[in-house]
Every structure is written in structure tokens, then in C-alpha cells.
């Protein structure tokens, strides 16, 4: 088990999530339940999956959480 906060990938994913939240604050009010919500829900699991994967007992389990549902990342990129 490793400390996920020491991983560069987690730091970047966390920073990205914070930036998504920051940027989405300035979206039009009528987008709050559509685009804003979708972007935030797609960005949040990325660092969470990395952190959860670090708590697993094997590299295989860790890899499962790192590559778990790649659609989350593509959803953010395609908005």
C-alpha cells in the first residue's frame, strides 16, 4: 500500500479536478444542472480512483482502479 498523495499522477488529477470546479463556477446559470454537473461528476472520480487503488493489496488491483472506467476521463475531454 502506498500513499496516494505522494504520486504525481494523483497530484495532477487532483489539480485538474480543482480547476474544473473553478472554471465551471463561471459557466452560465442555465448550464448548472447540465454541463457544469456533468463535468464535475466526470472529473471527481479520477483522483478518487487513484486513491482507492493505492489502498489495494496488489499491483493488479491498483491497475484496475487506475484504468477503471476510462469514459470518465474522455467525458471531461469531450465537453
- Alpha-helix runs per DSSP H in 1-79: 8-24, 37-43, 45-54, 59-66, 71-77
Our CA angle for 38, 29, 79, nearest 5°, is 30
CATH 1.20.1440.60 fits 4-77, yes or no: yes
Burial zone of 17 (CB within 10 Å; 0-12 exposed, 13-18 middle, 19+ buried): buried
> pTM of the prediction?
0.76
Q: For the chain, what are the domain ranges? A: 4-77
| HSE, side-chain direction, 13 A CA sphere, residue 41 | 8
CA distance 30 to 62: 39
What are the tens digits of pLDDT across the range 2-49? 788 999 999 999 999 999 999 999 999 898 888 899 889 888 888 988
What are the tens digits of pLDDT across the range 7-16? 999 999 999 9
Amino acid at each position: 500500500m502506498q500513499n496516494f498523495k505522494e504520486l504525481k499522477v494523483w497530484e495532477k488529477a487532483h489539480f485538474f479536478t480543482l480547476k474544473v470546479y473553478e472554471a465551471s463556477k463561471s459557466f452560465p446559470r442555465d448550464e448548472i444542472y447540465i454541463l457544469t454537473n456533468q463535468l464535475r461528476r466526470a472529473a471527481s472520480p479520477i483522483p478518487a480512483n487513484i486513491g482507492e487503488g493505492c489502498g489495494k493489496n496488489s499491483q493488479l488491483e491498483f491497475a484496475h482502479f487506475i484504468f477503471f472506467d476510462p469514459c470518465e476521463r474522455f467525458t471531461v475531454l469531450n465537453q
